[in-house]
Amino acid sequence: MIRTKEEFLQLVNIDEDMMHLLKTVKSLHLPDWWVCAGFVRSKIWDYQHGFKEKSKLPDVDVIYFHKSMDKESEDVRIEEHLKSLHPDVPWSVKNQARMHLKNGFTPYQSSYDAISKFPETATSLGLSLDKKDNLVLAAPHGLEDAIHMEVRPTPYFKHTHRIHIYTNRVKKKNWQDHWHNLTIYMP
């Protein structure tokens, strides 16, 4: 069982596939980049459930933050490049400098700010690599909910008019069908 951030990072460090994908994204030299959400969360939940094989991801979310590259076509171009490098990976690339518009939120200040405003605490996670290829974890709401297999809304969604986004998303994802030990908190 993973109990700490250090144990989780060690687990990722020895996962050659994850490290390879992170190094691939790093090679693009995107500003303020992270591979986030299910890429991180699923690694934790799979391990906590004792799964020997990785769960299939519907997408591998790559985010970055660049105010002047605000056209969706840039994301598509980057995605196509990643697909040419790894055609078997379901890449999804989004510049967080424009993604606030999707849900009518106030503009994000950085990728970390965007991660902090993901709907669930267990999904508000990202991994990146520093200049020396050391893992960097973005966990604005901590790693505890993911480690304890608890799904709850982030403060940005809890007790606001946004809570319906959280509840609809949790119902649609139906994570408990795959990860049976999850506890999902509904408002």
**For the segment 81-115, what is each residue's pLDDT rounded down to a tens digit?**
999 999 999 999 999 999 988 778 899 999 999 99
- Give the number of other CB atoms < 10 A from CB of residue 152: 19
The amino acid sitting at 104 is G
pTM recorded for the entire structure: 0.96
Q: Measuring CA to CA, which residue among 139, 93, 144 is closest to residue 115?
A: 139
Distance of CA 67 to the CA centre of its chain: 21
Condensed to tens digits (0 to 9), the pLDDT of residues 143-187 reads: 999 999 999 999 999 988 899 999 999 999 999 999 999 999 998
Phi, psi of 52 (to 5 degrees): -85, -30
Pairs from 153-158 (Cβ < 8 Å, separation ≥ 24)? 153/119, 153/120, 153/121, 153/185, 153/187, 154/116, 154/117, 154/118, 154/119, 154/120, 154/121, 154/124, 156/116, 156/117, 157/119, 158/187
Residue spans of the domains in the chain: they are 5-184
Condensed to tens digits (0 to 9), the pLDDT of residues 9-57 reads: 999 999 999 999 999 999 999 999 999 999 999 999 999 999 999 999 9
